[in-house]
């Protein structure tokens, strides 16, 4: 074979029949192999003694070095750190701390032993007052820098009265693989002990890992007996050699658990299993009921899929009615295992109350509740509205919305399933009357541009925009600026110790 043919095969990544690559007989082979082996690895850029200056967004802080903005993970303003750059552009870079030289005086001791490993509650090292300050700043920065529109003075952020045990819904994962934090790994190696990650564990997914979990002793997000239930299920399955799920091999039985608690005192537990072994299932569920008689609805869901989502599965009620009743003010809401409901009930009541105030209803308005979910906002404002029209893409949520309206004897509310941009066309507005007030509560991606254009065309006198992502909200407000002015801005903290923030904006049609 001619030498040129073989070399071409190497550089093109092919091994044709008769190519001498397999036998390393070509004279250029040693040179190519050596060249590839000695190719220098790009050296990491490390900067020392960097003072973290401010909070940025999405849980990151920032520093400025020679005019370049550097976004740094897991730090707070006032920290002095050595950092390693990751993504590195001309005007900005991302980095993570290698070592802390001095800690900020703003820091406090985290109350959870799993802080920094679990991946949740990223701001426990900050006093709650500082968390609120930075969240308010996040909203202000996003609306001014992205929106670039005229804005009124922002109302002070509404904080939470309870900063622990505030979640009404928590989802746990059971796994045969445990994430081992670096410090524990080093200690085990230094002591000559085996590093064991196989077995049966209960907790939360490790950040960025689909197949390993952080084993949790006590989570402070939900009232007891949530931790006791999780531990009891794990212990029972270990004692009886029931296999925990392995996400990588797709083997095992015990997968996930969702716990929901209502202010009415009702408890729901839904246990997700990899297959339906009736003997094992009934033994586990009977044990759970024996140990925790306060559970009012115990369900199980068989999930043979490769992902953990249950929205295309059917939960089965083993004990109780299969749902719980939650209450906001004097409104009741039926919550089933697949229902969406704000996970902080007490803060949801504040959020919805602000939304209702911003809508300025007097009983004569036709209100559209877009991205309505289970109808909670529309129902909450219904007493002051002439009519409620709700639209939501998820059909199961609309079914819940209709049941919730009936549960509260609300006869002037209608709910429709379908994508908002498809449903809200000229014919729909003609059939249900044009809105006097539009309340929109879109997902993190914000409103579709087609919907924004339709709202501009419809020109309702008042729009109330509830957002869980001030950045996409700012983008949408810039589009709405064609016909609307922002009159009021009210941030609400739904999730203490995290960087997440809700924001309510009132818009009025320009005169």
Q: What is the pLDDT of residues 72-86, one digit of tens each?
A: 988 999 999 999 999
Q: At what angle do helices 278-291 and 226-239 cross, to 10 degrees?
A: 140
Phi, psi torsion values for 476, nearest 5 degrees: -70, -35
33 and 53 together in one domain: no
Measured distance CA(189)–CA(192) in Å, rounded:
5
Is there a domain that residue 62 lies in?
yes
- The H or E element that residue 502 is part of is strand 502-509
Check whether residue 273 and residue 391 sit in a common domain. no
**Count of domains forming the chain:** 4
CA-based nearest residue to 434, from 387, 502, 469: 387
Q: Within this chain, do residues 349 and 492 fall inside the same structural domain, yes or no?
A: yes
Catalytic residues: 468
C-alpha distances in Å from residue 323, one per residue of 2, 40, 267, 273, 379: 75, 60, 9, 19, 19
The CATH number given to whatever domain includes residue 87 is: 2.40.50.140
Residue 126 lies in a domain: no
Q: Contact 96/77 with Cβ under 8 angstroms?
A: no
What 8-state DSSP symbol labels residue 90?
Answer: S
Residues 6 or more apart from 272 whose CB is under 8 A from it? 255, 256, 257, 258, 300, 301, 302, 303, 308, 310
What's the CA gap between 84 and 219, in Å, rounded?
A: 31
Do residues 154 and 136 lie in contact, with contact meaning Cβ atoms separated by under 8 Å?
yes
Helices (H), 63-143: 128-142
pLDDT at residue 41, rounded to an integer:
66
Which of 124-128, 148-152, 185-189 is predicted with the least confidence, judged by mean pLDDT? 185-189
Q: Which of 294, 328, 362 is the last residue of a domain?
A: 328
Return the structure tokens found at 498. 């995290």
Tokens representing residue 362 in the block: 């007097």
DSSP string, 294-325: T-SEEEEEE--SSS---TTS--EEEESSS-EE
Q: What pLDDT, on the 0 to 100 scale, is given for residue 60?
A: 87
Residues 197 and 298 reside in one and the same domain: yes
- Name the domain boundary from 280, 299, 328: 328
For 237, 304, 320, 329, 338, the CA distances from 254, given in Å and listed in that order, are 8, 11, 22, 38, 19
Give the confidence band of 210 by pLDDT, cuts at 50, 70, 90: confident
Q: Per residue in 326-374, pLDDT tens?
A: 999 999 999 999 988 999 999 999 999 999 999 999 999 999 999 999 9
- From the list 336, 335, 231, 240, the residue with the least C-alpha distance to 282 is 240
* Interacting residues of 133 by C-beta distance below 8 A, sequence separation 6+: none
Q: Which two tokens stand for residue 371?
A: 């991205």
**Which residue range(s) make up the domain with 234?**
169-328
Which of the pair, 36 or 103, is modelled with greater confidence? 103
286: which residues sit within 8 A by CB, 6+ positions away?
Answer: none
Predicted confidence band at 14 (pLDDT cuts at 50, 70, 90)?
very low
Given the structure tokens 């407000």, which residue do they identify? 477
Kindly state whether residues 145 and 22 are assigned to the same domain: no
- pLDDT of residue 215 exceeding 70, the answer is yes
Could you tell me the CATH number of the domain that includes residue 503?
3.40.50.150
**Same domain for 189 and 83:** no
Same domain, 285 and 393: no
298 lies in the same domain as 209:
yes
Tokens of 509: 């049609």
Convert the pLDDT of each residue in 400-448 to its tens digit. Answer: 999 999 999 999 999 999 999 899 998 999 999 999 999 999 999 999 9
Q: Using an 8 Å Cβ cutoff, are 440 and 370 in contact? A: yes
Phi and psi at residue 12, to the nearest 5°:
-90, 0
Phi then psi for residue 34, to 5 deg, are: -65, -45
Q: How is residue 56 annotated by DSSP?
A: -
Q: Is 208 exposed, middle or buried (0-12, 13-18, 19+ CB in 10 A)?
A: exposed
Q: Cβ(484)–Cβ(509) under 8 Å?
A: yes
Question: Do residues 382 and 498 share a domain?
Answer: yes
Q: Are residues 157 and 247 in the same domain?
A: no
Tell me the C-alpha distance between 319 and 434, whole Å.
45
Domain at 323, CATH number: 2.40.50.1070
Claim to verify: residue 191 and residue 74 sit in the same structural domain = no
The closest alpha carbon to 272, from 289, 287, 259, belongs to 259
Residue 116 lies inside a defined structural domain of this protein: no
Confidence category of residue 38, pLDDT binned at 50, 70, 90 = low
| Contacting residues for 39 by C-beta, under 8 A, at least 6 apart | none
pTM of the model: 0.86
| Claim to verify: residue 53 and residue 158 sit in the same structural domain | no
Last residue in a domain, options 273, 304, 328? 328
Residue 334 falls inside a structural domain: no
Per-residue pLDDT band for 29 (boundaries 50, 70, 90) equals very low
* Residue 246, both tokens: 């392995």
Residue 181: the pLDDT is 78
Domain-embedded: residue 119: no
pLDDT beyond 80 at 6: no
* C-alpha 190 chain-centroid distance: 37
Query: CA-to-CA distance for 237 and 283, rounded, in angstroms?
Result: 10
Distance CA 156, CA 443 (A): 24
The residue written with tokens 């090292």 in the block is 125
């Amino acid at each position: 074979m001619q030498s040129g043919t073989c070399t071409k095969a190497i550089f093109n990544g092919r091994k044709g029949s008769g190519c001498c690559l397999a036998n390393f007989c070509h004279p250029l082979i040693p040179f190519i192999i050596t060249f590839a082996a000695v190719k220098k690895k790009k050296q990491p850029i490390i900067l020392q003694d960097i003072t973290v200056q401010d909070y940025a967004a999405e849980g990151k802080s920032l520093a400025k070095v020679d005019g370049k903005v550097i976004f740094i993970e897991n730090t707070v303003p006032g920290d002095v750190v050595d950092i390693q750059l990751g993504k590195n552009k001309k005007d900005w870079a991302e980095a993570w701390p290698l070592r802390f030289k001095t800690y900020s005086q703003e820091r406090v001791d985290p109350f959870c032993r799993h802080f920094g490993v679990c991946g949740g509650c990223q701001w426990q090292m900050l006093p709650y007052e500082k968390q609120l300050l930075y969240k308010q700043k996040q909203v202000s920065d996003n609306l001014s820098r992205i929106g670039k529109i005229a804005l009124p003075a922002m109302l002070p952020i509404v904080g939470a009265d309870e900063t622990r045990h505030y979640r009404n819904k928590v989802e746990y994962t059971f796994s045969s693989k445990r994430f081992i934090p670096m410090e524990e790994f080093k200690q085990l190696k230094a002591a000559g002990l085996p590093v064991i990650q196989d077995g049966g564990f209960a907790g939360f997914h490790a950040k960025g890992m689909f197949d390993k979990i952080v084993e949790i002793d006590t989570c402070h997000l939900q009232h007891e007996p949530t931790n006791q239930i999780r531990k009891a299920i794990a212990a029972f399955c270990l004692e009886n050699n029931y296999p925990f799920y392995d996400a990588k091999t797709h083997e095992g039985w015990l997968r996930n658990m969702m716990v929901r608690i209502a202010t009415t005192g009702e408890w729901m537990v839904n246990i997700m299993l990899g297959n339906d072994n009736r003997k094992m299932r009934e033994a586990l569920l009977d044990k759970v009921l024996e140990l925790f008689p306060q559970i009012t609805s115990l369900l199980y869901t068989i999930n043979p899929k490769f992902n953990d989502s249950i929205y295309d599965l059917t939960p089965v009620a083993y004990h109780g009615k299969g749902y719980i009743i939650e209450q906001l003010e004097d409104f009741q809401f039926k919550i089933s295992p697949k229902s969406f409901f704000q996970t902080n009930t007490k803060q949801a009541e504040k959020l919805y109350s602000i939304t209702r105030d911003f809508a300025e209803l007097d009983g004569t308005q036709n209100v559209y509740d877009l991205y309505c979910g289970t109808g909670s906002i529309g129902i909450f404002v219904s007493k002051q509205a002439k009519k409620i029209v709700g639209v939501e893409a998820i059909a199961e949520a609309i079914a819940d919305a209709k049941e919730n309206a009936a549960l509260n004897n609300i006869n002037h509310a209608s709910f429709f399933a379908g994508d908002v941009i498809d449903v809200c066309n000229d014919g729909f507005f003609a059939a249900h009357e044009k809105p006097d007030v539009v309340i929109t509560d879109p997902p993190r991606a914000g409103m579709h541009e087609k919907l924004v254009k339709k709202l501009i065309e419809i020109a309702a006198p008042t729009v109330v925009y509830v957002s869980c992502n001030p950045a996409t909200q700012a983008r949408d407000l810039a589009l709405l600026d064609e016909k609307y002015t922002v009159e009021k801005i009210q941030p609400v903290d739904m999730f203490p110790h995290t960087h997440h923030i809700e924001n309510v904006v009132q818009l009025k049609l320009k005169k």
